[in-house]
């Protein structure tokens, strides 16, 4: 059985600190590449909402179209925690049985509080996520 994993860099508003510059989502790209290299029966898609000019409605359509088993949303910093949670909330609305995963600095530091605050998050990966994601995909598959 092929496990479908979707990595998402959520839509973000203009942030005065960075201006219009939004760097590529290196974290999820690295995780996707590692997963692809280390798991045989996996289908991976990456959605970068900034690069693809996707709003929330567009993201919802992409999630629905891919029909993932696992969705991993980027949660790099505290300023992105809400949009990460919203991404996973949309995912659960579309497919309640999907496994939702996030990580990054904010969720690593605030794991327990985040799990209480955002019921749409199933798993928070603390620290480096490569090996953990491989194990999750193998467990789901």
Of all helices (H) and strands (E), which one includes residue 124?
A: strand 123-124
Q: Give 84-108 pLDDT, tens digit per residue.
A: 999 999 999 999 999 999 998 889 8
The neighbour count for residue 81, using CB atoms within 10 Å, is: 20
- DSSP labels, 75-120: --SGGGHHHHHHHHHHHHHH-TTSEEEE-SHHHHHTHHHHHHH-TT
Residue-by-residue pLDDT tens, the chain, 141 positions: 899 999 999 987 665 555 666 677 888 999 999 999 999 999 999 999 988 999 999 999 999 999 999 999 977 667 778 899 999 999 999 999 999 999 988 898 999 999 999 999 999 998 888 999 999 999 998
Q: What's the confidence (pLDDT) of residue 20?
A: 64
C-alpha 11/C-alpha 135 separation (Å) is 28
Q: What's the confidence (pLDDT) of residue 21?
A: 64
Burial zone of 73 (CB within 10 Å; 0-12 exposed, 13-18 middle, 19+ buried): buried
């Amino acid at each position: 059985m092929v496990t479908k994993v979707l990595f998402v860099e959520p839509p973000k508003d203009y942030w005065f600190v960075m201006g219009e510059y939004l760097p590529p989502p290196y974290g999820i790209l690295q995780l996707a590449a590692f997963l692809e290299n280390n798991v045989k029966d996996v289908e991976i898609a990456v959605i970068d909402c900034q690069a693809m000019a996707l709003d929330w409605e567009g993201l919802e359509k992409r999630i629905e179209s891919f029909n993932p088993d696992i969705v991993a949303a980027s949660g790099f910093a505290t300023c992105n925690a809400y949009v990460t949670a919203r991404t996973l909330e949309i995912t659960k609305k579309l497919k309640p049985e999907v496994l939702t995963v996030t990580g990054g600095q904010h969720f690593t530091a605030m794991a327990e509080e985040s799990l209480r605050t955002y019921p749409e998050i199933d798993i928070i990966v603390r620290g480096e996520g490569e090996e953990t994601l491989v194990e999750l995909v193998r467990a789901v598959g």
